[in-house]
Amino acid sequence: MQRALYQKQILNLAITARDRFQYLYEASLRGEITCAHCGEPVKLYLGIEHSPYFYHAQVPHEREECSDTLSETTAVQQIKETPAEYRETNGFRIPKGRAIGEKNSTVKEKATWRSSAPFSSVPAFRSKPPVPKHSDSPYLNEFKESGIELDSNQWKAVTHSEGPLLILAGAGSGKTRVLTARTAYMIQEKQIDPKSIMLVTFTAKSAKEMKERLATYPKMSGLHLRQMLVGTFHSIFLRMIVHHNPQAWQIDRLLKWDWQKEQIVKEAARELHVDEKDFPFDQALQQIGYWKNTLVGVKDVRPKDKWEQDVHFLYRRYEEVKKQKQLFDFDDMLYGCYEMLKQNPDLLTRYQKRFRYFLIDEFQDSATRF
């Protein structure tokens, strides 16, 4: 089936935006989407072998009477027969919601889903690019003499010092080696000031390993490593905000563990009278983190449903408790640094003049935070 009922409206997968599919899939798991003909709960299939479709969760085969040829007509009738809900305003009865009428049910459909196909443009095995025998760069020749081998593609990436560069490669293919070798090449061969380089990764362990690897490269001294800014997004942003406002960002006020944040939202949830055993507090904290990382403040949230209304309430109380107790979490480091630079254009200009080269490792993990 391509059609079903959701919140008293006809849901047609053929004209539904792709970014809503995951949300609708979760709604179907909660039994909120029903068959337009029989009214029983249906689930949404999401996979790569078939296009998305609705199916009955309680029966082994799709019912003939629930086919799409009947579902939309039945759905419109079913919606019309549903008693309307009203609210009293100054003596007038105003409907709380408006169901989709026949006019909206005749939207022209245009199938946009394409069937899956095997990807065959990349061969099953590709030989490793050859290692250059000689380079015009003295420093890269020192790399070879030190036993650090780079193939032709890696050498090309290392010597690219100006302008953007994106490296896509699988695990164990030498991405970190290229990034650190490129850093050393820029400092030693191109004479780029180490103070203008920011080296970023996702975990503190990776940042430490990059420093250790850089220390083994030819002519790289401890002074070079101290002059560069190396760390995770959180550690770098924390250093910036602590440097300019140490009183507001004392490390002993950091909420390091999830249980600390859960404790705050659970106390707030008691005001909603929700069942703590059934309420997904971990998902609520993820939603709050998503709002903060996408720069959506408490006042900017526009809840789409009852779930987001509850989480929005927890979000507001969570921020109020943190402000009252002068606490902050990891997301606040990012948001706080953004606000600091936004509100201080002169400070932003100073940082822009200093840092001109940004080398980011594990960018796919870092990018999901923003």
pLDDT tens profile 192-228: 999 999 998 888 888 888 899 889 888 888 899 899 9
Whether 340 is covered by a domain: the verdict is: no
pLDDT digits (tens, 9 = 90+) for 290-303: 898 888 889 988 88
Tell which of 89, 106, 123 closes a domain: 106
Instruction: Tell me how many domains the chain contains.
Output: 3
With a CB cutoff of 8 Å and minimum separation 6, the contacts of 151 are 128, 129, 130, 131
Q: What are phi and psi of 360, to 5 degrees?
A: -115, 120
Range of the domain at 311: 255-327
Residues 238 and 358 in one domain: yes
- 206 in the same domain as 294: no
**Shared-domain flag, residues 153 and 223:** yes
Asked whether residue 156 is domain-assigned, the answer is yes
Per-residue pLDDT reduced to its tens digit, 104-131: 444 455 555 666 666 666 666 666 666 6
Q: Which two tokens stand for residue 304?
A: 């789409």
For 75-87, b/e burial (b = at least 16 CB within 10 A) is bbebbeeeeeeee
Domain assignment present for 276: yes
* Residue 146 falls inside a structural domain: yes
Average pLDDT over all residues of the chain: 80
Q: Are residues 84 and 181 in the same domain?
A: no
For the entire predicted model, the pTM comes to 0.57
Domain boundary among the residues 83, 106, 129 is at 106
CA atoms of 139 and 118, how far apart (whole Å): 44
